Structure 1
Amino acid sequence: MNPLIAILCLMAPILLTGTIAFKISIQQTRLRLILAFSAAYLFALSIMHMLPEAFANSNVKLVGLFIVLGFVLQLLIDTFSTGIEHGHVHLHSSACKKHLPYGIIIGLLLHSFLEGLPIYDPTSPQNSNINYQLILGLAIHNLPITIAFVSLLKEHETSRKNWLLLILFSLMTPLGYMSSYTLQSFGLNNYELYSQAAFALVIGIFLHISTAILFETSDQHKYNIRKVVVMAGGIILAYIIS
């Protein structure tokens, strides 16, 4: 995959979904179905594709450590972002409407940047140095996040700033990808170790987010048939791609 195409594939879903979300309101029930699909896809992708690749011919103890660190890091990010990476926001107060919640925004931007780090992988057994399965996973994952982010921004009247923040959000994962490419292409000696650590870190983040979503999108931890069907669809898609 061409790097330019990879960057466009990362940015386009966010910008298109954000533009639509600015114009119309997404029903909560539909958003939950999108969340359930993306969570099932992320979880299955992590188990069936990312975990085996992370542990193959690598330092198993290091990979395990960074998976745990990624899980814990996402917990820390959640304290600032209030769970917007799960596709919803818990903060809708009058104070929120008067001032942009920069803690939420910074937490989301950091989360997106970290997700871009393992996209460039020179040690990949594939013909390309770009992990296209991860790009597709991030594209699906960012759909409900973008809807939640735009819903938060729409509570404020600074429309020009809102569009700038949406564009900035769409750039963060490509920035993570380009940072990783630069570090590994110019002067980073032990890039294999870096690549393993970055990949494992994102697996931990994905495992935290996907399991959190799967619990939060259910009412009293009960699943209706529609959610089961969309979750099955996410798992089947991950299996086909992996």
Structure 2
Amino acid sequence: MNYILLIASVILGALLVFIIKPSNKIVRLLLAFSGAYLLSVTILHLLPEVYTETTDSKRVGIFILIGIILQSVLESFSKGAEHGHIHIHSDGKKFPSLLFVSLCLHAFSEGLPIHHAGDNLLWAIIVHKIPIAIVLTTFLIQTKYSKKIVFGFLFFFGFMSPLGVLLGDKIDFFTNYYTEITALIIGVFLHISTIILFESSENHTFNLQKFMAILLGVLLTVFTL
């Protein structure tokens, strides 16, 4: 079921673009909601769980910091696609290989701890993937790439997290270092979610709709997970 839900989240995001073509305003609100939800799950569930798995709290903290730094490096290649802003322009002549590799690596890594972390992490990633898939699909169809390339990109991106779930459960290395991997992903999530919330602000002015989307994301985490 985990595999199906993760793949379905990418399919849903892509279908929303092809069917209803959500406006930039709607996408920004979805991003704000997903960022708040992701941050809340990270703070309320993943952080307490990972610190109870070990007595070496400093080691956990170091891996969280590594995750933050790692995500900063990945974003230099993905141009911000993980948090909903692809800051590149393509003429369709050169495929953005670094963006593809970076996004797939990110999607694969976030799937690694799902089997052990449970539904809290699963739903956080699902909520995160839907608006990202919307932004990614919108970018791809606005380029001059063929439909074969567009759907191939989305196909591989959609299957990276399920692959991470599978290997995270079956490969001894990932199971033996589950705590460190989870701490790493916490750092990645902290970086992504805070960037989403900060970038969703315009001119640092109060936006009631954005605030309500953030509040909904937080409350949904508090009362349902």
TM-score normalised by L of structure 2: 0.94
Residue 226 of structure 1 is aligned with which of 209, 212, 225? 209
Q: Could you tell me which residue of structure 2 aligns to residue 127 of structure 1?
A: none
Residue 75 of structure 1 is aligned with which of 65, 72, 76? 72
After superposition, the C-alpha distances for 1:218-242 in whole angstroms (9 at most, x for unaligned) are 1022231101111000001111233
- Cα distance between partner residues in 2 of 1:82 and 1:167: 20
- Cα distance between partner residues in 1 of 2:134 and 2:114: 24
- Cα distance between partner residues in 2 of 1:166 and 1:224: 32
Cα deviation for residue 216 of structure 1 reads 0.5
Residue 21 of structure 1 is aligned with which of 14, 17, 21? 17
Q: Could you tell me which residue of structure 1 aligns to residue 135 of structure 2?
A: 148
TM-score normalised by L of structure 1: 0.87
- Cα distance between partner residues in 1 of 2:19 and 2:218: 31
After superposition, the C-alpha distances for 1:136-159 in whole angstroms (9 at most, x for unaligned) are 110100011101111121112310
> Structure 1 regions of 5+ residues with no counterpart?
122-129
1:235 aligned onto 2:222: no
> In the alignment, is the contact (CA less than 8 A) between 1:133 and 1:241 conserved in 2?
no
> In the alignment, is the contact (CA less than 8 A) between 1:37 and 1:230 conserved in 2?
yes
1:162 aligned onto 2:150: yes
Q: How does 1:1-242 map to 2 (within 5 A)?
A: 5-58=1-54, 59-94=56-91, 97-121=92-116, 131-154=118-141, 155-184=143-172, 188=173, 191-192=175-176, 194-242=177-225
One-letter amino acid of the structure 1 residue matched with residue 114 of structure 2: I
After superposition, the C-alpha distances for 1:3-58 in whole angstroms (9 at most, x for unaligned) are xx111011101112213313443211111000000001111111111111110141
> In the alignment, is the contact (CA less than 8 A) between 1:100 and 1:156 conserved in 2?
no
One-letter amino acid of the structure 2 residue matched with residue 45 of structure 1: V
- Cα distance between partner residues in 2 of 1:68 and 1:241: 28
> Structure 2 regions of 5+ residues with no counterpart?
none
One-letter amino acid of the structure 1 residue matched with residue 138 of structure 2: S
| C-alpha RMSD over aligned residues | 1.5
Percent identical among aligned pairs is: 36
One-letter amino acid of the structure 1 residue matched with residue 148 of structure 2: R
- Cα distance between partner residues in 1 of 2:166 and 2:90: 37
Cα deviation for residue 93 of structure 1 reads 4.3
Cα deviation for residue 91 of structure 1 reads 0.7
One-letter amino acid of the structure 1 residue matched with residue 50 of structure 2: A
One-letter amino acid of the structure 1 residue matched with residue 126 of structure 2: A
> In the alignment, is the contact (CA less than 8 A) between 2:13 and 2:132 conserved in 1?
no
Select between 74-83 and 148-157 the one with higher mean Cα deviation: 148-157
After superposition, the C-alpha distances for 1:166-214 in whole angstroms (9 at most, x for unaligned) are 1111100011111111113xxx5x945x010111111000000000011
How many residues align? The count is 223
